[in-house]
Amino acid sequence: MQAESDSKSFLPLTEATFFILLSLSSGSKHGYAIMKEVNRISNGRVTFSTGTLYGALKRLLDQGWIVRNGEDEEGGDETSRSRKNYTLTSLGRRILISEVARMKDLVQLSVSIDPKGI
């Protein structure tokens, strides 16, 4: 499958990118909701400052992995803090699926190895 092999070329993902994409897998979210969801699903392992999060979101927008759905009534430009909702693109979803499959393979491999032999 061409799309799957294309999405694998972006792997492995950084932990921050993985959790952002994972947080968006259930639907659109605004930046603050992404920040809270990432903290929750990572059990507090990943916390973002607003600057770090919005830098990562801009990079994911530029790569075409997510899209911005709209703005609240305040409007504003790209650098404003109005509530813009972000959604995974089909490419972003394929990349996330490929990363989950890669991680599952790693877990399967590690389970089959006797830790005493390492």
Domain that holds residue 9: 2-117
The number of folded domains in the chain is: 1
Query: φ, ψ for residue 84 (rounded to 5)?
Result: -105, 130
Q: What CATH number is given to the structural domain containing 45? A: 1.10.10.10
Distance CA 97, CA 47 (A): 23
pLDDT tens for 80-107 read: 555 789 999 999 999 999 999 999 999 9
- What sign does the dihedral 40-42-45-49 (CA atoms) show? negative
The tokens 């919005």 sit on which residue? Answer: 54
Residues 6+ apart with CB under 8 A from 20: 34, 38, 53, 56, 57, 60, 66
State the pLDDT at residue 25. 98
Q: pLDDT per position in the chain (118 positions), as tens?
A: 445 568 999 999 999 999 999 999 999 999 999 999 999 999 999 999 999 999 999 999 999 999 999 754 444 455 555 578 999 999 999 999 999 999 999 999 988 888 887 7
Share of the chain above pLDDT 90, in %: 74
